[in-house]
Amino acid sequence: MSFTVAIDGPAAAGKGTISRAVADHFGFAHLDTGLLYRAVGARMLDGTDPAEAAETLTQETLARGDLRTPEVAQAASKVAAMPEVRAALVDFQRAFAARAGGAVLDGRDIGTVICPEAAAKLFVTASDTVRAERRYRELADKGVETTFDEVLADTRERDTRDSARAAAPLRPAEDAVVLDTSQMSIEEAVAAAIGAIEAARKGQGR
């Protein structure tokens, strides 16, 4: 029987790290849905129509080595605001969520649009300055030349676009557990997420 965990939140809040740790802890499959939009965004930068890119998404595209670059991140945020792109990717995500053995999906609209009936929902967030600092350190570790102010401006621009878009705007589901990681270590955040999911599993008698 399937048990779906929906984990949403803005960029660099820690939802990816938490989602992977949660999936490992419970033995669930994990899908970073943001990677789907990054792949579409990357193909858009290559000149492909976004809707066509979404409809013809392949594992090869998902394995591209440039999907974590700032340019692709911005492109992903832009294509994610396109209803035709979101519609093309919905079935893929819902099929993954329904797999036997349990699934963890992280993104921006999992608990509100993709899997509104998910057994456990978390909304992972942090202040924009904390998230920008995390992203800045990550880029510096990869040798990407930028400044904190540029990363902060980029973070705020993405937040505005993701929250204001007409198609599936970024927001917590009404029944989501909100997890603010601003002052948390990775270990503390993962423990809090596991605790919330354990409570949901007990509530379903699992």
Binding residues for ATP: 9-17
Binding annotation: 9-17
SS (H, E, C) the chain: CCCEEEEECCCCCCHHHHHHHHHHHHCCEEEEHHHHHHHHHHHHHCCCCHHHHHHCCCHHHHCCCCCCCHHHHHHHHHHCCCHHHHHHHHHHHHHHHCCCCCEEEEECCHHHHHCCCCCEEEEEECCHHHHHHHHHHHHHHCCCCCCHHHHHHHHHHHHHHHHHCCCCCCCCCCCCEEEECCCCCHHHHHHHHHHHHHHHHHHCCC
